[in-house]
Structure 1
Amino acid sequence: MDLQVTAVFQQVPEGWIAWAQEISGPMTQGDTLDEARTNLIDAVQLIVLTRREMDDEEHAGIPVIREKLSVPIE
């Protein structure tokens, strides 16, 4: 499954900082734009997987319905 977010990059004297506009939490940096982009992908993946794991643990044994949801945004 692919998740699309808006990546925002800001050049600073030390290199680049990056964050995903739609997801609270992941912010990273890199010496180059490519490194910041790669680090942001890793950070977003980690946030999503960790939140998924935490939710699974919190609702273990509780009947819930999980489904993929596509949300069009204009």
Structure 2
Amino acid sequence: MDRQLTVIIEKADNNYSAYIDGIDGIVTTGNSIDEIKKNMVEAIELYVETCKELDLECPEELEGDYQLNFKMDVKSLLEFYSGIFTKAGLERITGINQKQLWHYASGNRNPRPEQKIKIETALHKLGEDLLSINL
């Protein structure tokens, strides 16, 4: 079974930054999730190559097979997809009222773990629904 490495994506001033939870020294930036994913793979490859070239110990998590799991905080996710999801649309699929979603998007309040799960579950269900449609 592949090891699971969690990549944390956060909003920076003008783009997004990402790092691997628990492994120091690997950081990247990007303007989209796809760019972050691509750049993170490249950053890991460069890090491993540099460790080999300089005869440094490489974290064992990066040896062999591993899978990258990407994680975003709710504020960053809502901001990133603000041009795609309206608060009214998110309210319909999550059951969380728009006012509360605005608080999460602005960073004034952090959602409780149950609210995070509601948002994540609703978005995953939407993704599954969309994947099942053929045009």
- TM-score band w.r.t. shorter chain: 0.5 to 0.7
- Show the counterpart of 2:42: 42
Deviation at 1:35, TM superposition (A): 0.4
Q: Tell me the amino acid that sits aligned with residue 39 of structure 1.
A: N
The structure with the larger Rg is 2
CA distance in 2, matches of 1:3, 1:26: 17
**Inter-CA distance 4–50: structure 2 relative to 1 (3 Å threshold):** farther
User: What is the root-mean-square deviation of aligned Cα atoms in Å?
Assistant: 2.6
TM-score (norm 1): 0.60
Q: Tell me the amino acid that sits aligned with residue 20 of structure 1.
A: I
Native 8 Å contact 1:18 1:37 kept in 2: no
Unaligned runs of 5+ residues in structure 2 are: 57-62, 65-135
CA distance in 2, matches of 1:32, 1:42: 15
**Percent identity at matched positions?**
30
TM-score (norm 2): 0.36
Deviation at 1:12, TM superposition (A): 3.2
Write 1 or 2 for the structure with the bigger share of helix: 2
Q: How many residues align?
A: 57
- Show the counterpart of 2:60: none
> Is 2:18 aligned against 1:15?
no
Unaligned runs of 5+ residues in structure 1 are: 57-67, 70-74
CA distance in 2, matches of 1:19, 1:40: 8
Q: Tell me the amino acid that sits aligned with residue 32 of structure 1.
A: S
SS in 1 for 2:16: strand
Q: Deviations over 1:17-72 (max 9, x none)?
A: 1011132111111011110121111111111111022118xxxxxxxxxxx78xxx
CA distance in 2, matches of 1:23, 1:12: 20
1:48-59 residue pairs with structure 2 within 5 A?
A: 48-55=48-55
**Inter-CA distance 54–13: structure 2 relative to 1 (3 Å threshold):** closer
